[in-house]
Amino acid sequence: MPSSPLLPKLMKAHGVSRRSFLKYCASLTSLMALPPAMAPRVAYALETAPRPSVIWLSFQECTGCTEAITRSSAPSLEELIFDAISLDYHHTLQAASGAAAEHAREAAMKEHWGKYLVIVDGSIPLDEPGYSAIAGISNLDMLKETAEGAAAIVSVGTCAAYGGLPQANPNPTGAGAVSDIIKDKPIINVPGCPPIPMVMTAVLAHYLTFGIPDLDELGRPKAFFAESIHDRCYRRPFYDKGLFAEGFDDEGARAGWCLYKLGCKGPTTKSVCATVKWNDGTSFPIEAGHGCLGCTEPDFWDNGGFYKPLSAPAGNYRRVGQAAVIAGVAAGAGGAYLARKGKADALANHETVDAFTLEKEEKES
Amino acid sequence: MNNPNFDLLMFARGPLFDFALLVFVAGVLIRVVEILVLGRKKDFSKAKGKPVQQGIKTIFTRTLPRPGAIKANPITIVGGYVFHIGFFIAFLLFVPHIALIEELTGLSWPGVGRVIIESSTVLAVIAGLALLYTRWRDPVRRKLTTWVDYLVLVLSLLPLITGYVAVNKLFGDPTFMMALHILSVDILMIVFPFTKLMHAFTFAMARYYNGSIQGRKGAES
């Protein structure tokens, strides 16, 4: 590992000044929810940290996560952090292909056994391993084999973290998350479809500098997934005032009113989208006029429809309601009819008795 | 990996809501239709007054307390008003609730802001607790109260309390609290047709009937 150049050297090569590096460290420090006094330590740690070998495994995925992280932002300090690791295997980014590529993975594993970091994007088919294979090796086998010598695993994207789109109902491949398969290694989940590039690089930076970050019960770093989007949303004041957009292009939507009625999942979604934002802090989906899809949460594809308000029922209520109306009216009318009939029958069957008959009956007995 | 809180929320919004809706709609209709179809024995006597007019009038006049009632039972009367009005403001004017009604029926109306919703919720809960307390303190009413009456009162307060906690993130995971909120509403809907909660639908019929009897006799109701 020490053979690879450390960060200062790389910075020089990329023409990045020390000032902008320190600025980056400061923002990274605040992003990681560390006290500001830690910024110099982050800088020091990043400068001196040896570059770990990273093996990036892509399974049932769309490459969106890789797209996001590689296009994070110019002047690409994130890219620099990316350079601060030694990416030894990545289908999309590596030049080698076929057997040579697989050899690179095996060589990296052998050389750095027990120390390398595995990044996974994409879910793993469990029904039939043949659904997704690389160089004749099923995703399941490759994950198990590679994870064995890993120091830690970072599941990047909701597919790797929670199963994501491939796992959506009816889950044709029996897709599972990394944590469904690997139980004996520390796993950091960085969900999102895709995750915010800055969050991905910050998690890597945290791993490089301070090790594994504090995780929530869903395996997500608390620094980035502790607060709901709703609580940090710039449209939140309109929610509080009771002002809601009724359509994507109505006046309310343009005036920044809350998108809850259009299906926004902000209240149940934890992420820093509303504060860190995307494309170099330009905006985030809600700012672009579309409700949050809830992509950092498990099963977000199947959570009752993207355009249905969170408070609306998610099941087959329309049919149920119609059936209830018919059944209710019929049963009510039927009950009343039976009661009336009982009354009428009782009246019809009523035998009149007079004193004479009673006397007669008494004598006979 | 699953989020158990979200799974509970989806259960409360999904299958359990469907079941609750079935029980609620069918149950309410069975009772109301049965009452209407059963009807009343035809009164062949000539009406001395105006039964229909008095009946309709009574539906509204019984909304106001009779003279002296506030003095006799201030907490019951005032608490009753505050609870009902607060409950309906929170239920019918909070926009996520309107979104739910719009999804079910297509009907929609403008909502109000958080200050009004949350003040109403808090007042309704305080009123509900006061009603619970007075009912329990008064030996006569205590004797008259069944366990179902207490259950109904508590079940009516739970959606208000859980909703307030969920929206304000007072404690617990917000998604979990939201699931509890919807769960509490599902339960309220399920017990509705079988308890005195039915008064929400039958009060008008009962008042009309009482008023029309008096009207027929020529009395003012």
DSSP state, A350? P
If asked whether residues A58 and A196 sit together in one domain, one would say yes
Per DSSP, what are the bridge partners of residue A55?
A89, A118
The per-residue pLDDT for range B32-76, each reduced to its tens digit, is: 999 888 888 888 888 888 889 999 999 999 999 988 888 988 999
If asked whether residues A183 and A211 sit together in one domain, one would say yes
Q: What is the mean predicted confidence (pLDDT) over A3-13?
A: 69
| Shortest CA distance from B186: residue in chain A | A313
Residue A125 lies inside a defined structural domain of this protein: yes
Please report, rounded to a whole number, the percentage of residues in chain A having pLDDT higher than 90: 54
Residues of B with Cβ-Cβ distance to A339 under 8 angstroms = 34, 38
Is residue A182 helix, strand or coil? coil
Is residue A173 helix, strand or coil? coil
For residues A3 and A195, the model is more confident at A195
Q: Which residues of B89-99 are buried (b: 16+ CB within 10 A; e: fewer)?
A: bbbebbbbbbb
pLDDT score at A20: 76
Residue A267 lies inside a defined structural domain of this protein: yes
pLDDT at A3 over 60: no
End-to-end CA distance of chain B: 64
If asked whether residues A49 and A119 sit together in one domain, one would say yes
Residue A300 contacts residue A158 (beta carbons within 8 Å): yes
Select the residue of A231, A302, A311 nearest B99 (Cβ to Cβ).
Answer: A311
Most confident of A16-20, A46-50, B128-132: B128-132
Residue A55: phi and psi, rounded to 5, are: -110, 120
Residue A186: left (phi > 0), alpha (psi -120 to 50), or beta?
beta
Residue that the structure tokens 């090790």 belong to:
A211
Those residues whose C-beta lies under 8 Å from the C-beta of residue B149, and which sit 6 or more positions away, are: B135, B196
If asked whether residues A206 and A236 sit together in one domain, one would say no
pLDDT score at A356: 85
Q: Is the peptide bond before A125 cis (omega within 30 degrees of 0)?
A: no
Select the residue of A239, A311, A336 nearest B97 (Cβ to Cβ).
Answer: A311
Between A and B, how many residue pairs show a Cβ–Cβ distance under 8 A? 156
Q: What is the mean predicted confidence (pLDDT) over A157-172?
A: 94
Residue that the structure tokens 């030049």 belong to:
A95
Q: What is the mean predicted confidence (pLDDT) over A127-145?
A: 92
pLDDT score at A70: 76
Domain count, chain A: 3
Residue A310 lies inside a defined structural domain of this protein: no
If asked whether residues A53 and A99 sit together in one domain, one would say yes
Distances (CA, A) of B82 to A112, A283, B207: 70, 44, 21
| Domain final residue, candidates A207, A224, A241 | A224
Residue B150 contacts residue B191 (beta carbons within 8 Å): no
If asked whether residues A49 and A138 sit together in one domain, one would say yes
For residues A77 and B1, the model is more confident at B1
Top residue of B30, B97, B176 to mutate, by most chain A CBs within 10 Å, is B30
Beta carbons of B100 and A303 less than 8 Å apart? no
For residue A275 the two structure tokens come to 């504060």
Select the residue of B3, B35, B103 nearest A298 (Cβ to Cβ).
Answer: B3
The mean-pLDDT minimum among A149-153, A216-220, A221-225, A300-304 falls in: A300-304
Sequence letter at residue A320 = V
| Shortest CA distance from B24: residue in chain A | A324
Predicted ipTM? 0.86
Q: Check if B17 contacts A (Cβ < 8 Å).
A: yes
Q: What are the residue boundaries of the structural domains of chain B, listed by start?
A: 52-216
Beta carbons of A336 and B38 less than 8 Å apart? yes
The per-residue pLDDT for range B144-198, each reduced to its tens digit, is: 999 999 999 999 999 999 999 999 989 888 899 999 999 999 999 999 999 999 9
Q: Check if A96 contacts B (Cβ < 8 Å).
A: no
pLDDT score at A82: 60
Q: Check if B169 contacts A (Cβ < 8 Å).
A: yes
In chain A, DSSP assigns E strands to: 53-58, 86-90, 116-121, 124-125, 133-134, 137-138, 150-156, 175-176, 187-190
Please choose, from the candidates B10, B1, B6, B7, the residue with its C-alpha nearest in 3D space to the C-alpha of residue A175: B1
Domain that holds residue A58: 7-224
pLDDT score at A93: 79
The per-residue pLDDT for range A87-122, each reduced to its tens digit, is: 888 877 777 888 888 888 999 999 999 999 999 999
Our separate counts of H helices and E strands in chain A read 17, 9
If asked whether residues A271 and A342 sit together in one domain, one would say no
Sequence letter at residue B146 = T
Q: What is the mean predicted confidence (pLDDT) over A2-20?
A: 70
Residues of B with Cβ-Cβ distance to A231 under 8 angstroms = 169
Tally the C-alpha atoms within 13 A of residue A18's C-alpha that lie toward its C-beta.
6
Q: What is the mean predicted confidence (pLDDT) over A154-163?
A: 96
Residues of A with Cβ-Cβ distance to B163 under 8 angstroms = none
For residue A31 the two structure tokens come to 């992003």
Please choose, from the candidates A121, A140, A123, the residue with its C-alpha nearest in 3D space to the C-alpha of residue A175: A123
Residue A215 lies inside a defined structural domain of this protein: yes
Residue A157 contacts residue A192 (beta carbons within 8 Å): yes
Residue A296 contacts residue A225 (beta carbons within 8 Å): yes
CATH code at A276? 4.10.480.10
pLDDT score at A79: 60
For residues A280 and A348, the model is more confident at A348
DSSP chain B: ---HHHHHHHHHHTHHHHHHHHHHHHHHHHHHHHHHHH------SPPSS-HHHHHHHHHHHTTSPPTTHHHHSHHHHHHHHHHHHHHHHHHHHSHHHHHHHHHHHS-------HHHHHHHHHHHHHHHHHHHHHHHHSHHHHHH--HHHHHHHHHHHHHHHHHHHHHHT-SS-HHHHHHHHHHHHHHHHHHGGGSGGGHHHHHHHHHHHHHHHHHHTT---
pLDDT score at A117: 92
Residue A15 contacts residue A53 (beta carbons within 8 Å): no
In A122-243, DSSP assigns E strands to: 124-125, 133-134, 137-138, 150-156, 175-176, 187-190
Q: With the C-alpha atoms ordered A346, A352, A357, A363, is the resulting torsion angle positive or negative?
A: positive
Q: What is the mean predicted confidence (pLDDT) over B108-125?
A: 95
Q: How far, rounded to the nearest angstrom, does the alpha carbon of residue A308 sit from its chain's CA centroid? A: 18
Residue A309 lies inside a defined structural domain of this protein: no
Please choose, from the candidates B9, B89, B146, the residue with its C-alpha nearest in 3D space to the C-alpha of residue A311: B9
To the nearest whole Å, the CA of B207 is away from the closest chain A CA by 21
If asked whether residues A90 and A147 sit together in one domain, one would say yes
Select the residue of A218, A331, A332 nearest B1 (Cβ to Cβ).
Answer: A218
Please give the mean pLDDT across all residues of chain B. Answer: 92
If asked whether residues A89 and A183 sit together in one domain, one would say yes
pLDDT score at A76: 53
pLDDT score at A5: 64
Confidence of residue A280 (pLDDT cuts 50, 70, 90): confident
pLDDT score at A317: 85
For residue B26 the two structure tokens come to 């069918």
pTM of the model: 0.85
Q: Is the peptide bond before B67 cis (omega within 30 degrees of 0)?
A: no
Q: What is the mean predicted confidence (pLDDT) over B94-122?
A: 94
If asked whether residues A126 and A263 sit together in one domain, one would say no
pLDDT score at A36: 78
Confidence of residue A75 (pLDDT cuts 50, 70, 90): very low
Please choose, from the candidates B99, B110, B93, the residue with its C-alpha nearest in 3D space to the C-alpha of residue A252: B110
Residue A307 lies inside a defined structural domain of this protein: no
Is residue A53 helix, strand or coil? strand
pLDDT score at A4: 60
If asked whether residues A196 and A79 sit together in one domain, one would say yes
Q: How far is A192 from A295, CA to CA, in rounded Å?
A: 5
Please give the mean pLDDT across all residues of chain A. Answer: 87
Residue that the structure tokens 């009510």 belong to:
A332
Question: What length does chain A have?
Answer: 365
Beta carbons of A261 and B99 less than 8 Å apart? yes
Residue B22 contacts residue B174 (beta carbons within 8 Å): no
Beta carbons of B27 and A328 less than 8 Å apart? yes
Is residue A259 helix, strand or coil? coil
The per-residue pLDDT for range A22-72, each reduced to its tens digit, is: 777 777 777 777 777 878 877 887 777 777 888 999 999 999 998 888 776
pLDDT at A138 over 50: yes
Beta carbons of A298 and B1 less than 8 Å apart? yes
If asked whether residues A69 and A100 sit together in one domain, one would say yes
CATH of domain B52-216: 1.20.950
CATH code at A174? 3.40.50.700
